[in-house]
Amino acid sequence: MNADLGPLWLSCKVATAATIGVALVGLPIAFILARFRFPGKGLAAGVLALPLVLPPTVVGYLLLLAFGRRAWLGAWLERAFGVVLVFHWSGAVLASAVAAFPLFLLPARGAFEAVDPRLEDAARLLGRGEFSVLAAVTLPLAWRGLAAGLALAFARALGDFGATMMVAGDVPGLTQTASLAIYDAVQVGDSSRAAWLSLGIASIAAAALAFVQRTLPGRGGRP
Amino acid sequence: MSPSVGGALDARVVRRVHPGLTVDVSLKLGAEIGVLFGRSGAGKSTLLRLLAGLDRPDAGRVELAGEVLFDLRSGRDVPLRRRRVGMIFQDDLLFPHLDVRGNVGFGLRAESRRDRERRVAEVASAFGIEHLIDRRVETLSGGERQRVGLARALAPRPRLLLCDEPVSALDLGGRRTLLDRLRDVPRVEGVPVLYVTHSPAEAITLGTRLFLMEAGRIAAEGPPAEVLAGSVRAEFSHLEGVRNVFSGRVAEHEAGGEWTRLALDDGPSLVVAPVAAPIGSRVAVEVDGDDVLLALGPIAGLSARNQVEGTVEAIAVHGREAEVLVRVGGLRWLVSTLGSTPAELGLAPGRSVRLIVKARSVRVEASPA
């Protein structure tokens, strides 16, 4: 049993880190896409949603092209910070975060768009600056959609296989997340290990879905 | 507080809204209620947005209480949050995630907790919403929501209050209550109020000054009843609701409560259906031109209560319909007839006629004396 919990624990760690990364990068992008008009907006929104439709192995391959040790971005990261993503669990974080990103971005953008901009104007007329408007009006009104998007992104990151496999590889104890471990277990005929891991990962994903379903209805209520 | 130069608005704003409409307005207002009146599309709401700072004028200058808020020449444009301009809207735009207390205190964040609570309690009692203070806003009625919106706008002590048709979605009771509260604002808060409406009754009972807006410009300006009476000219007759609008006072209640007699300013007295307001109350009176009959002389044995003598001033025939302008004392009445009627009656400018008005055809809106 002890050996079974390792990949599950790694999956949770990777998915949590990926979700935090998605939130940090995705929140401002979702807000900008919802509130501003600029040239190339449609193209930008399309590119950001691309991981949703690309095969995960293609997403992983593109990430390798950019972050491999001999690729320019990867080489720079290694020189400047000593960070090597390939065959490291941080590579799994990057891969699953990119794969999960659109699942946060789309509902988050919708949540921001659903906030009546006239309410934000009313707040400004009452003496609030931009940051205060965001913190006191926009975020509290959009939070349900944002939380739902985060839960979806978490569930997607939790289950990523293809992109993680391409970037981080399948190193037991190091980068072997639950999805990869299930695949390996089936390959070697260890069906009880595959079943236990599947049950574990499915329970966590189902909990995330339950959270989404509890959160989504009645948008705009109090936190 | 009396109207003072210190609390005054002095603005000239120009903005091209679309190829067919350029708002170009100069406007001065002291601590009183100015009514911005006109048909939809005349640029009233745009003007409010320009004064608030929600939209940027293409040219002009806005000065409020001695401070320049906007000046194209010097490039000055005070940001919205520092303008201290309060605004209420047709939709109340309350924050749905906050309760009434949170909404009313929203503009008081810079103040200490104690000062904030004191001011919230003060405006809550001024607008009759103390009992609602812990309620969530979606549990309030339309009239209550608008009163909360008004309290919220006034809590941070703005220097100008802008009202964009705030009662148009309310029922009669809610309308009356909000207008009563609004009427005291210039005196209590010492600030100018600019109120957008297309209801002549609101204009007359609420405003001390009226700006008639047409196609982006102010076409006439003055005491509401005077401007509205003046606006009853042939070119305005297509303006729905601007037909016969007068101001007056309640003069007499019939002992049995059957009717009320009104004395119109500069005009005749009218017997109307009972008005629930004490003698001396100010009233706005509206009579549709379709509800007035014309007679060449006095008529005996008639059920209508009012026969008012006047003089034909002008006649406009538009095909199958005609409009006859009749002067009665200092007032002008517009009467609609069939196109052939003026000729059949031999009407001509200078001819004496009787206006026949049923008591029940007169719409009356009272305001407290």
> Stretch B201-215: mean pLDDT, rounded?
84
pLDDT digits (tens, 9 = 90+) for B318-362: 778 788 888 888 788 888 888 899 999 999 889 999 999 999 999
Q: Is residue B39's pLDDT more than 50?
A: yes
Kindly state the tokens that stand for A178. 């639950």
Task: Give residue B315's pLDDT.
Answer: 81
Q: Which distant-in-sequence residues (6+ apart) come within 8 Å of A168 by Cβ?
A: A85, A86, A87, A88, A89, A91, A92, A95, A175
Using a CB-CB cut-off of 8 Å, the residues of chain A touching B153 are 125-126
> Stretch B254-263: mean pLDDT, rounded?
92
Q: Give me the residues paired with residue B306 across strands.
A: B357
Q: How close is the nearest chain A Cα to the Cα of B248, in Å?
A: 38
Q: Are B31 and B186 in contact (CB under 8 A)?
A: yes
A18-22, A59-63, B6-10, B37-41, range with the lowest pLDDT: B6-10
Q: Positive or negative CA dihedral for B167, B172, B177, B180?
A: positive
pLDDT digits (tens, 9 = 90+) for B75-116: 899 998 889 999 999 888 999 999 999 999 999 988 888 999
How far, in Å, CA of A157 to CA of A15, rounded?
5
Q: Does A128 reach chain B within 8 Å, measured CB to CB?
A: yes
Using a CB-CB cut-off of 8 Å, the residues of chain B touching A119 are 93, 95
Q: Are B284 and B273 in contact (CB under 8 A)?
A: no
Q: Are B42 and B51 in contact (CB under 8 A)?
A: no
How far, in Å, CA of B43 to CA of B24, rounded?
9
A81-90, A204-213, B19-28, range with the lowest pLDDT: A81-90
Q: Are B232 and B272 in contact (CB under 8 A)?
A: no
CA B170 from chain centre, in angstroms, equals 15
Task: Give residue B368's pLDDT.
Answer: 52
Task: Give residue A209's pLDDT.
Answer: 85
Look at B265 and B117; give whichever has higher pLDDT: B117
Yes or no, beta carbons of A126 and B156 under 8 Å apart = yes
End-to-end Cα, chain B, rounded Å: 19
What domains lie within chain B, and their CATH numbers? 9-236 (3.40.50.300), 244-367 (2.40.50.100)
Count Cβ–Cβ pairs < 8 Å, chain A vs chain B: 57
User: Shortest CA distance to B226 belongs to which of B213, B198, B207?
Assistant: B207
Selected for mutation to probe chain A from B81, B82, B85, B88 (highest A CB count within 10 Å) is: B81
The SS3 assignment for B304 reads coil
Q: Is residue B228's pLDDT more than 60?
A: yes
Domain spans of chain A? 2-61+88-215
Mean pLDDT estimate for chain B = 86
Q: Is residue B124's pLDDT more than 60?
A: yes
CA B233 from chain centre, in angstroms, equals 19
Q: Which distant-in-sequence residues (6+ apart) come within 8 Å of B239 by Cβ?
A: B39, B231
Share of chain A above pLDDT 90, in %: 33
Kindly state the tokens that stand for B273. 């259906």
- The torsion angles phi and psi of B242, rounded to 5 degrees, stand at -105, 35
> Stretch B42-47: mean pLDDT, rounded?
90
pLDDT digits (tens, 9 = 90+) for A77-93: 888 887 777 788 888 88
Using a CB-CB cut-off of 8 Å, the residues of chain A touching B83 are 125
């000593």: which residue's tokens?
A82
Q: Are A174 and A102 in contact (CB under 8 A)?
A: no
Burial B284-308 (b: 16+ CB within 10 A, else e): bbbbbbebbbbeeeeeeeeebbbbb
Q: Which distant-in-sequence residues (6+ apart) come within 8 Å of A217 by Cβ?
A: none
Q: Does A219 reach chain B within 8 Å, measured CB to CB?
A: no
Task: Give residue A118's pLDDT.
Answer: 93
Q: Are B215 and B43 in contact (CB under 8 A)?
A: yes
Q: Are B269 and B262 in contact (CB under 8 A)?
A: yes
Task: Give residue B321's pLDDT.
Answer: 78
Which class would CATH give A2-61+88-215? mainly alpha
Yes or no, beta carbons of B89 and A122 under 8 Å apart = yes
Pairing of strands B352-357, B306-318: antiparallel
Task: Give residue B242's pLDDT.
Answer: 44
pLDDT digits (tens, 9 = 90+) for B171-196: 767 777 888 888 888 988 889 999 99
Q: Does A70 reach chain B within 8 Å, measured CB to CB?
A: no
pLDDT band, residue B369 (cuts 50/70/90): very low
Diameter of chain A by CA atoms?
A: 67
pTM over 0.90: no
Q: Which distant-in-sequence residues (6+ apart) come within 8 Å of A20 by Cβ?
A: none
Task: Give residue B7's pLDDT.
Answer: 66
- If you write DSSP's letter for every residue of B78-90 in order, what string do you get? --GGGT-EEEE-S
Report which residue type is found at B231. Answer: S
How far, in Å, CA of A137 to CA of A131, rounded?
10
Q: Is residue B29's pLDDT more than 90?
A: yes
Q: Give me the residues paired with residue B86 across strands.
A: B161
